Amino acid sequence: MATVVFLHAHPDDEAIATAGTMAALAAEGHRVVLVTATRGELGEVPEGFLASGETLAARREAEQAEACRVLGVARHAYLDYRDSGMAGEPTNELPGCFAAADLEEAAGRMAAILGEERADVLVAYDEHGGYGHPDHVMVHRVGMRAAELAGTPRVHLATQDRDHLRSLMEDRPPGEWEVPDDVGETLETMGEPASRITTEVDVRSFLGAKRAAMRAHASQIAETSFFLAMPDDVFADVWGREWYVRVRPPAADPHVGPRETGLLA
């Protein structure tokens, strides 16, 4: 059995990007480890959602623990950096935030976990963090350097198949399901073009776990949100596959032959 370590920026990122893959690996008996860089202190939360005296960081810690239980995560750890906020905000430069962290120090923290786990695979993010969030970009930089320091033999970059998602949005019959304007705009630059994807994991058998993991992060993913409000068939079309780019060892040319179907293939 293998040990696969997933590095994510904030609680809830794992539910959206890689939950199906994580649940599938755990079900097969592999050791799944999740490392979260921050506690997502700067996430938005509806007024009155938190209990009196409760911090968002504490709530998100509890949500993360529940998502880990749902997905079968064997170990969860934080890198203990602060949320940097969205791109361009002054919080990007505050002491202790992940985006402004010293790369060698942050990579050293991550490499220590990879070494403890004798990780066979590390999953980080693509070079622009999927959609440009500074903490997500830092996940890529830290993950790549940590894998180098620890000698982790296999590295995948979690991403989205931009062309596939665009086609789904464009092909929906009018009125069947509305895509929010901000989501449509994000799809223009989200993820990677299909030509770069090396690995496509079919997670349709684990969509129940993926939905449950999303629901666990209730402070950030409401039942009425874009993620959970989809009809079941749309949810399966959008979330039934998870995509990666294998960079270590380099994958074969994606234009030649079929995509890999798993992180251990």
Among the ranges given (112-116, 168-172, 196-200), the one the predictor scored with the smallest mean pLDDT = 168-172
CB distance 113 to 71 below 8 Å: no
At 122 the pLDDT is 99
Q: Is the pLDDT of residue 37 over 90?
A: yes
Q: Is residue 122 part of a domain?
A: yes
Sign (positive or negative) of CA dihedral 107, 140, 14, 225? positive
At 147 the pLDDT is 98
Q: Is residue 142 part of a domain?
A: yes
Average pLDDT value for residue range 27-39: 98
Q: Is residue 194 part of a domain?
A: yes
At 151 the pLDDT is 98
Average pLDDT value for residue range 185-199: 85
Q: Is residue 242 part of a domain?
A: yes
At 185 the pLDDT is 61
Nearest to 55 by CA among 212, 213, 217, 219: 219
Q: Is residue 258 part of a domain?
A: no
Matching residue, tokens 């939905």: 211
* Highest mean predicted confidence (pLDDT) among 62-66, 176-180, 187-191: 62-66
At 165 the pLDDT is 84
Q: Is residue 215 part of a domain?
A: yes
Residue 197 confidence class, pLDDT cut points 50, 70, 90: very high
pLDDT tens, position by position, 231-261: 898 899 999 999 999 999 998 776 667 899 9
Neighbour tally for 2: CB within 10 Å: 16
Average pLDDT value for residue range 52-59: 96
Percent of the chain at pLDDT > 90 equals 79
Q: Is residue 254 part of a domain?
A: no
Using CB atoms within 10 A of its CB, is residue 206 exposed (0-12), middle (13-18) or buried (19+)? buried
Average pLDDT value for residue range 58-63: 98
Which residues make Cβ contacts (< 8 Å) with residue 181, sequence separation at least 6? none
- What is the rounded distance in angstroms from the CA atom of residue 24 to the CA atom of residue 1? 13
At 210 the pLDDT is 98
At 125 the pLDDT is 98
Percent of the chain at pLDDT > 70 equals 92
Structural domain count, the chain: 1
At 178 the pLDDT is 63
The mean of the pLDDT values for the chain is 92
At 231 the pLDDT is 86
CATH assignment at residue 33: 3.40.50.10320
Full domain range(s) for residue 89: 3-248
Q: Is the peptide bond before 258 cis (omega within 30 degrees of 0)?
A: no
Q: Is residue 259 part of a domain?
A: no
- The alpha carbon of 187 is separated from its chain's Cα centroid by a whole number of angstroms, namely 16
pLDDT tens, position by position, 127-180: 999 989 999 999 999 999 999 999 999 999 999 999 988 888 776 665 555 666
Residue 56 confidence class, pLDDT cut points 50, 70, 90: very high
pLDDT tens, position by position, 202-239: 999 999 999 999 999 999 999 988 889 888 988 999 99
